[in-house]
Amino acid sequence: MAECFTTDNGDKNKLNYYIPFVLIPLAILVYFFLEQGVDFLVYGIFQMDKSAHLTEAIRFFLYDTPKVFILLTVIVFVVGIIRSYFSPEKTRKALEGKPLFIGNVMAASLGILTPFCTCSAIPLFIGFVESGIPLGVTFSFLVAAPMINEVALVLLFGLFGWKTALLYASTGLLIAIVSGWVIGKLKVERFVEEWVYEIKAGDFQVEERKVTFNDRIQAGYTAVVDIVSKVWIYIVAGIAVGAAIHGYVPENFMASIMGKEVWWSVPLAVLIGVPLYSNAAGIIPILQALLEKGASLGTALAFMMSVIGLSLPEMIILKKVIKLPLIIIFVSVVATGIMIVGFLFNLIY
Amino acid sequence: MKIEILGMGCATCNKLEDTVRLAVSEMGIDAQIDHVKDIKQIMTYGVMTTPALAIDGVIKAAGKLPSLADIKQMIGNK
C-alpha cells in the first residue's frame, strides 16, 4: 500500500532544471568517498578505539545515514521523473485487450512504475474492470504496485547490498505475475460486487496542458520532498537500531526462531506480517535487527513482503468492491507466493 | 460556478477541499463547493485517481493535490 505522495507545489522557476545536473554528480562523488571520510573522522580526528563496540556503532551510524539518504534522494528523484511519464489512465489503455499471461506480466511491471496510492484503489479497480481488463491482470497490478517500491529497493540496496535488492524486486514481480495469473484462472468474477459491473464510467477528459521537461524535473523534486519528509525518521531510527545492536545483542540471538533450520519460521513471519501495515521505511529497522541477529534472508524477506505487500487497510478498502471470498483468495494466493519465495531463499542461501 | 471535489474521504481529498475553500474565499467569488464521496458518482467522471477536482463538470486535476495558486488559476480561467 503506497501512500499518496502527490502534492503539487507548483513553484516552477527556471533554475530547477540545472540544479540536478550539478547535485547528482556531486552526490555520487560524496557517496564513493564516504567510507574513507567517516573512517578518517572516527579514527583520525576522534581518535576512537578501533576495537570498542561503541566505536563500531558510531562508525556504522555515521556512514550508513548519509549513504542511505544520498541513495534515497537520487533514486526517488529519478523515479519521480520516470513516473511523470506514466498514469493509471495510460496503464489502463496499455492493458486493454491483453491476454491473460502477457497481461499479467505487463500489469505487474506497470504496477511498479505507475503512480498509485491506496485512496485511488477503488476508482482504479472499477476503471480497470470497466474497460474489460481481466480480474487476474488487475490483481497483478494491485500486488506489484505496493510491494515493489523505490524506497524499499533503495534501503535494501543501501543496507544489505544489491543482490538482496535485486532478489526482492524480481521475486516480488514474479509473485505479482503468478498470483494474478492464478486468480485469473480461478474464475472469481462472481465475487465482484454486482454494482461495479453496472457502473457506466464517463469519458475522462482532463484538460491536459503540455507537460514540459521542467515539469518532470519538478515532479522529481516533489517526490523527493514528499517521500523524504515522510520516511526520514524511520530511516534514522532503523540505522540507529542497526548501529545499536551492531555488536551488542548476542550474535545469532534470532537464529533459533528465525534461522533457516526452523522450517516454520517462514509461515510464521508471513502470518505476522500480513495484518501488519507499515511503509517500506518503517519495516527496515526491524529487518535490520532480524538479519543482524541471525534470522535467515528468506524469512526476513517474506516478512517484509507480507508487511508492505498485503495490509489490512487495503483489504478494507477493497472490500467495498469485492466480496469476502475473493479477499480471502487474494490474500491466500499472494501469501502462498511469498512463503514459496521465503522457503526458496532459505534453501539457496 | 460549481466546484466538486471527488474523493472517498482520504486525507489528501480533505486537504484538497480545504484548499479549494481557501481559494474561493480568498478570491471572494460565489461558488458552490461539493465533496462527492459516492464512488458511483465519482466514476461517472471517468477518473481513476482521487482526489480529483471538477469545475462546472470538467475535470481539472486528478490524482494530486494542486497548489493553492494552481487552484486559483483553474477557477480564474473559468
For the stretch B12-50, pLDDT in tens is: 888 889 999 999 999 888 889 999 988 888 888 888 888
* Nearest-angstrom CA–CA distance, A309 and A149: 10
Name the range with the highest mean pLDDT among A7-11, A197-201, B29-33.
Answer: B29-33
In a domain, A300, yes or no: yes
**Average pLDDT, rounded, for chain A:** 83
pLDDT at residue number A1: 34
Known catalytic membership, residue B10: yes
Tell me: pLDDT of A304 over 70. yes
pLDDT at residue number A215: 80
* Nearest-angstrom CA–CA distance, A339 and A224: 33
* Nearest-angstrom CA–CA distance, A310 and A320: 17
Query: A195 is written with which cell numbers?
Result: 454494482
Tell me: pLDDT of A324 over 90. yes
* Nearest-angstrom CA–CA distance, A88 and B46: 12
How many domains are there within chain A?
1
Mutate to test the interface with A, among B20, B44, B47 (most CBs of A within 10 A): B47
pLDDT at residue number A3: 45
User: Residue A205 and residue B46: Cβ atoms within 8 Å?
Assistant: yes
* Nearest-angstrom CA–CA distance, B26 and B33: 14
pTM of the model: 0.84
Do the Cβ atoms of A170 and A112 come closer than 8 Å?
no
Q: Which of B43, B51, B69 sits opposite A201 (nearest CB)?
A: B43
For chain B, the straight-line distance linking the first and the last C-alpha, in angstroms and rounded, comes to 9
| pLDDT tier for residue A247 given thresholds of 50, 70 and 90 | low
Indicate the SS3 state at residue A149: coil
DSSP H helical ranges for chain A: 19-39, 53-83, 88-95, 100-113, 121-130, 135-147, 150-160, 162-185, 194-198, 213-245, 255-258, 265-273, 280-292, 297-309, 312-318, 324-348
Mean pLDDT confidence for A42-67: 82
Q: Which residues sit opposite B3 in a β-bridge?
A: B33, B55
Q: Which of A4, A89, A203 sits opposite B12 (nearest CB)?
A: A4
In a domain, A2, yes or no: no
Torsion angle in degrees (nearest 10) through CA of B45, B47, B49, B50:
-10
| pLDDT tier for residue A254 given thresholds of 50, 70 and 90 | low
In a domain, A1, yes or no: no
Q: Which of A29-43, A101-115, A128-142 has the lowest mean pLDDT?
A: A29-43
Known catalytic membership, residue B65: no
Segment A84-134, tens digit of pLDDT: 899 888 899 899 989 889 999 999 999 999 887 777 888 889 989 888 899
CA distance to partner chain B, nearest, from residue A76 (Å): 17
Q: Which residue has the higher pLDDT, A253 or A290?
A: A290
pLDDT at residue number A331: 94
Helix (H) or strand (E) holding B14: helix B11-27
In a domain, A116, yes or no: yes
Tell me: pLDDT of A11 over 80. no
Domains and CATH numbers, chain B: 2-76 (3.40.30.10)
pLDDT at residue number A205: 58
Mean pLDDT confidence for A66-76: 89
pLDDT at residue number A337: 94
* Nearest-angstrom CA–CA distance, A98 and A344: 31
User: Residue B45 and residue A8: Cβ atoms within 8 Å?
Assistant: no
User: Residue B63 and residue A120: Cβ atoms within 8 Å?
Assistant: yes
pLDDT at residue number B43: 84
pLDDT at residue number A160: 82
Name the range with the highest mean pLDDT among A206-210, A321-325, B67-71.
Answer: A321-325
In a domain, A230, yes or no: yes
Chain B residues with CB under 8 Å of A118 CB are 10
Q: Which of A46-60, A245-259, A284-298 has the lowest mean pLDDT?
A: A245-259
pLDDT at residue number A296: 85
Can you give the residue range of the structural domain that contains A270?
A: 7-205+213-349
Catalytic residue among B1, B8, B10, B48: B10
| pLDDT tier for residue A195 given thresholds of 50, 70 and 90 | confident
CA distance to partner chain B, nearest, from residue A260 (Å): 41
Q: Compute how many other C-beta atoms are within 10 angstroms of the C-beta atom of residue A27.
A: 17
Query: A130 is written with which cell numbers?
Result: 470497466
Name the range with the highest mean pLDDT among A189-203, A268-282, A288-302, A307-321.
Answer: A307-321
pLDDT at residue number A122: 87
Tell me: pLDDT of A281 over 80. no
Q: Which of B10, B46, B70 sits opposite A203 (nearest CB)?
A: B46
pLDDT at residue number B70: 84
Segment A212-241, tens digit of pLDDT: 787 888 888 888 888 888 888 888 887 887
- Contact map slice: A 83-112 vs B, CB within 8 A: 87-89, 92
